[in-house]
Chains A and B, each alone.
Chain A
Amino acid sequence: MPILEIDHLQKSYGETQILHDINISIEEGDFLVLVGPSGCGKSTLLNCIAGLEPITGGDISIAGRNVTGVSPKDRDIAMVFQSYALYPTMSVAKNITFGMKVRGVDKATQDAKLKQVAAQLQIEQLLNRKPGQLSGGQRQRVAMGRALVRDPRLFLFDEPLSNLDAKLRVSMRTEIKKLHQDLNASIVYVTHDQIEAMTLATKIVVMKGGVIQQIGTPAEIYNRPANMFVADFMGSPAMNLIPARARADAGATRIEIDRPGAAPLVITDPVARDLPADIVLGVRPEDIHEATEGAHLPGNARRADGDVLIDIVEPAGADTFAVTQLGGKPVTARLRAESPVQARQPFPLAFDLSKVSYFSPKDGQRLN
Chain B
Amino acid sequence: MTTNTLLRWGLYAVLILFAAFYLMPLFVMLTTSLKSLEEIRTGGLLSLPREITFAPWAEAWSTACAGTQCEGLRPFFWNSVLMAVPAVAISTVVGALNGYVFAQWQFRGANLFFAAILFGCFIPFQVVLLPMAQALGFLGLAGSIPGLIFVHVIYGIGFTTLFFRNYYVTIPQELVRAAKVDGAGFFRIFFAIFLPISLPIITVSVIWQFTQIWNDFLFGVSFSGPGSQPVTVALNNIVNSTTGVKAYNVDMAAAIIAALPTLLVYVVAGKYFIRGLTAGSVKG
A and B bind:
yes
List A residues at the B interface (Cβ < 8 Å): 47, 50, 52, 71-73, 77-79, 81-83, 85-90, 98-99, 102-103, 146
Q: How far, in angstroms, from A86 to B196 measured CA to CA in the complex?
A: 14
A85–B180 touching, CB < 8 Å? no
A85–B183 touching, CB < 8 Å? no
A85–B178 touching, CB < 8 Å? yes
With known contacts A87-B192, A88-B197, A88-B284, A102–B182 Cβ distance under 8 A: yes
The residues of B that contact A88 with a CB separation of less than 8 Å are 193, 197, 284
B172 within 8 A of partner (CB): yes
- Of A73, A78, A83, A146, which one neighbours B174 at CB under 8 angstroms? A83
B179–A79 touching, CB < 8 Å? no
B197–A73 touching, CB < 8 Å? no
A52–B197 touching, CB < 8 Å? no
Q: How far, in angstroms, from A368 to B30 measured CA to CA in the complex?
A: 95
B183–A99 touching, CB < 8 Å? yes
Among B178, B179, B192, B197, find the residue whose CB has the most chain A CB atoms closer than 10 A: B178
With known contacts A87-B193, A89-B193, A102–B184 Cβ distance under 8 A: yes
A99–B182 touching, CB < 8 Å? yes
B192–A98 touching, CB < 8 Å? yes
- Interface bits B188-216 vs A (CB < 8 Å: 1, else 0): 10001100110000000000000000000
B16 within 8 A of partner (CB): no
The residues of B that contact A81 with a CB separation of less than 8 Å are 174, 177-178
A103–B180 touching, CB < 8 Å? no
List B residues at the A interface (Cβ < 8 Å): 172, 174-175, 177-184, 188, 192-193, 196-197, 284
B188–A73 touching, CB < 8 Å? no
Nearest-Cβ distance from residue A61 to partner chain B, whole angstroms: 18
- Of A52, A86, A89, A102, which one neighbours B188 at CB under 8 angstroms? A102
With known contacts A52-B181, A73-B183, A85–B192 Cβ distance under 8 A: no
B193–A85 touching, CB < 8 Å? no
- Of A77, A82, A87, which one neighbours B179 at CB under 8 angstroms? A87
The residues of B that contact A99 with a CB separation of less than 8 Å are 181-183
- Of B174, B188, B284, which one neighbours A85 at CB under 8 angstroms? B174
Residue of B nearest to A152 (CB): B181
The residues of A that contact B175 with a CB separation of less than 8 Å are 85, 87
Residue of B nearest to A94 (CB): B192
The residues of B that contact A73 with a CB separation of less than 8 Å are 180-184
Q: How far, in angstroms, from A86 to B284 measured CA to CA in the complex?
A: 13
13 CB-based A-B contacts, threshold 8 Å: A50-B181, A52-B177, A73-B182, A85-B178, A87-B175, A87-B178, A87-B179, A87-B193, A88-B284, A98-B192, A99-B182, A102-B188, A103-B183
The 6 closest A-B pairs by CB, nearest first: A73-B183, A99-B182, A85-B178, A89-B196, A85-B174, A102-B183
Residue of B nearest to A87 (CB): B193
Q: How far, in angstroms, from A79 to B196 measured CA to CA in the complex?
A: 23
- Of A78, A85, A146, which one neighbours B177 at CB under 8 angstroms? A85
Residue of A nearest to B193 (CB): A87
The residues of B that contact A90 with a CB separation of less than 8 Å are 192
The residues of A that contact B179 with a CB separation of less than 8 Å are 87, 98
Nearest-Cβ distance from residue B268 to partner chain A, whole angstroms: 23
Q: How far, in angstroms, from A82 to B182 measured CA to CA in the complex?
A: 16
Q: How far, in angstroms, from A99 to B197 measured CA to CA in the complex?
A: 19
Residue of B nearest to A147 (CB): B181
Q: How far, in angstroms, from A87 to B178 measured CA to CA in the complex?
A: 9
B178–A79 touching, CB < 8 Å? yes
Nearest-Cβ distance from residue B132 to partner chain A, whole angstroms: 40
Q: How far, in angstroms, from A290 to B256 measured CA to CA in the complex?
A: 94
The residues of B that contact A103 with a CB separation of less than 8 Å are 183
B172–A77 touching, CB < 8 Å? no
Q: How far, in angstroms, from A86 to B171 measured CA to CA in the complex?
A: 12
The residues of B that contact A87 with a CB separation of less than 8 Å are 175, 178-179, 192-193
Q: How far, in angstroms, from A186 to B26 measured CA to CA in the complex?
A: 72
Q: How far, in angstroms, from A87 to B188 measured CA to CA in the complex?
A: 13
A83–B183 touching, CB < 8 Å? no
Nearest-Cβ distance from residue B31 to partner chain A, whole angstroms: 48
Q: How far, in angstroms, from A191 to B149 measured CA to CA in the complex?
A: 54
Nearest-Cβ distance from residue B176 to partner chain A, whole angstroms: 9
Q: How far, in angstroms, from A85 to B189 measured CA to CA in the complex?
A: 13
Among A52, A85, A103, find the residue whose CB has the most chain B CB atoms closer than 10 A: A85
Nearest-Cβ distance from residue B284 to partner chain A, whole angstroms: 7
Nearest-Cβ distance from residue A276 to partner chain B, whole angstroms: 48
Q: How far, in angstroms, from A281 to B197 measured CA to CA in the complex?
A: 58
The residues of B that contact A79 with a CB separation of less than 8 Å are 177-178, 181
Q: How far, in angstroms, from A55 to B175 measured CA to CA in the complex?
A: 21
Q: How far, in angstroms, from A99 to B184 measured CA to CA in the complex?
A: 8
Nearest-Cβ distance from residue B76 to partner chain A, whole angstroms: 41
With known contacts A52-B177, A99-B182, A83–B172 Cβ distance under 8 A: yes
Nearest-Cβ distance from residue A159 to partner chain B, whole angstroms: 11
The residues of B that contact A82 with a CB separation of less than 8 Å are 174
The residues of A that contact B184 with a CB separation of less than 8 Å are 73, 98, 102
The residues of B that contact A98 with a CB separation of less than 8 Å are 179, 182, 184, 192
With known contacts A89-B193, A102-B188, A52–B180 Cβ distance under 8 A: yes
Residue of A nearest to B183 (CB): A73
**A81-B178, A85-B172, A102-B182 known; 16 other A-B pairs, CB under 8 Å?**
A52-B180, A72-B177, A73-B180, A73-B183, A78-B181, A79-B181, A82-B174, A85-B174, A85-B177, A88-B193, A88-B197, A88-B284, A89-B193, A98-B184, A99-B182, A102-B183
